[in-house]
Amino acid sequence: MIKINIQKKFVTRSTKSIKLNYQCEIPIEQTSSLFGESGAGKTTLLKMLSGLLTPDVGNITVNGQIWFDSEKKINLPIVARSLGFLFQDSSLLANMNVRQNLEFAFRKGNEDKQFLNELITFAEIEDLLDKRIEGLSGGQKQRIALVRTLVQKPKFLFLDEPFSSLDQRIRNQLYSMILSLQNRFAMTILLISHEITEVIKLSKRVFLISEGQIVSSGHPIEIFNPKGKPNSLEGEVIRVDPSTNQVALWFPNALAIMESKNKNQNFKLGEMIHTQLSIENEEV
């Protein structure tokens, strides 16, 4: 269990003071998500867990090991936390080509090139290996950075919107890869996402963050479906394509494109409908 009780204060350009106060317990060896509006404090929390930012006061304990304790003056170095993190700035090395960037991430004595090739195939970056970083698209850089993070086989994986620049086909493929690797290596994954469907697909627990505090947490179905209808979410129909039988639904803060199983059903724009969810990594 990751036990968090930390605080940090920021002063903005307008001299307004913002106080972040996080208290929660995050399960290990499964995927959890942080969900909330931009500026709510999700990335800051990940950076404090990673050791990239230092809390003002409080403590972080992981399976009984102290990562941070302000009173005891303990702040475990990043390299000792056995974690991989991917923030929105991919931080790829411009003076290396793609292959060199990936191999640079190998931990000394653990150069598993077979595993690297497996990740390269999953992410469909085989044709990019000899290319320089400059000139690559945002989506290509995102896939490369994700592979570079995963090749280290971290115990803890922190991802800040890792799929935001990718098309749906590649997203679905990487979702499957993440779920497979999580099970294979019993990784603890903490994901920041603004998309409800993505959170439901990947996570067993979601933490809602607002104004620097965790306001609620639970299974994604429980959090995003407060009426308690099992395996369903309510969304507004905003587009219907009879030729493909696809319906675009708007959920709170997220858009989903779904295919209706009933080809004879007529959806009306603005209609509120319930969608039945299929969650591959959790039985509800």
Name 7's bridge partners. Answer: 21, 57
End-to-end CA distance of the chain: 22
Of 202, 224, 246, which residue is a domain's last?
224
Average pLDDT, the chain: 81
Vertex 265, ends 261 and 266: CA angle to 5°? Answer: 135
Among the residue ranges 52-66, 165-179, 259-273, the one predicted with the least confidence is: 259-273
Same domain, residue pair 169 and 116: yes
Q: Same domain for 161 and 236?
A: no
CATH number at residue 83: 3.40.50.300
Tell me how far apart the alpha carbons of residues 156 and 30 are, in angstroms, rounded to a whole number. Answer: 10
Residues 155 and 193 in one domain: yes
CATH number of the domain bearing residue 248: 2.30.30.140
206 and 237, same domain (yes or no): no
The verdict on 186 and 237 lying in the same domain is: no
- The answer to whether position 177 is within a domain reads yes
241 is in which domain, residue-wise?
232-276
Three-state secondary structure readout of the chain: CEEEEEEEEEECCCCCEEEEEEEEEECCCCEEEEECCCCCCHHHHHHHHHCCCCCCEEEEEECCEEEEECCCCEECCHHHCCEEEECCCCCCCCCCEHHHHHHHCCECCECCHHHHHHHHHHHCCHHHCCCECCCCCHHHHHHHHHHHHHCCCCCEEEEECCCCCCCHHHHHHHHHHHHHHHHHHCCEEEEECCCHHHHHHHCCEEEEEECCEEEEEECHHHHHCCCCCCCEEEEEEEEEECCCCEEEEEECCEEEEEECCCCCCCCCCCCEEEEECCCCCCCC
Cβ(170)–Cβ(124) below 8 Å: yes
- Residue 17 domain-assigned (yes or no): yes
Which of 123-127, 219-223, 272-276: highest mean pLDDT? 123-127
Q: How many domains does the chain have?
A: 2
Same domain assignment for residues 129 and 46: yes
| 212 and 249 part of one domain | no
> Tens digits of per-residue pLDDT, 101-123?
888 877 666 678 888 888 898 88
Q: At 55, which amino acid appears?
A: P
Task: Say if residue 45 is in the same domain as residue 72.
Answer: yes
Q: State the Cα torsion 131-132-138-142 to the nearest 10°.
A: 80
Query: Do 31 and 191 contact (CB within 8 A), yes or no?
Result: yes
Same domain for 77 and 158?
A: yes
Q: Based on the fold, state whether residues 139 and 255 are members of the same structural domain.
A: no
Q: Does residue 282 form part of some domain?
A: no
Record the pTM.
0.73
Q: Are residues 75 and 117 in the same domain?
A: yes
pLDDT in tens, 140-150: 888 888 888 88
Longest Cα–Cα distance in the chain = 66
Residue where one domain finishes, among candidates 224, 242, 257: 224
Sorting pLDDT into bands at 50, 70 and 90, what band is 256? low
Q: Has residue 284 been placed in a domain?
A: no
The pLDDT of residue 138 is 82
Q: Is residue 200 part of a domain?
A: yes
Residue that has been written with the tokens 């080809």 in this structure = 263
Give yes or no: residues 83 and 135 share one domain. yes
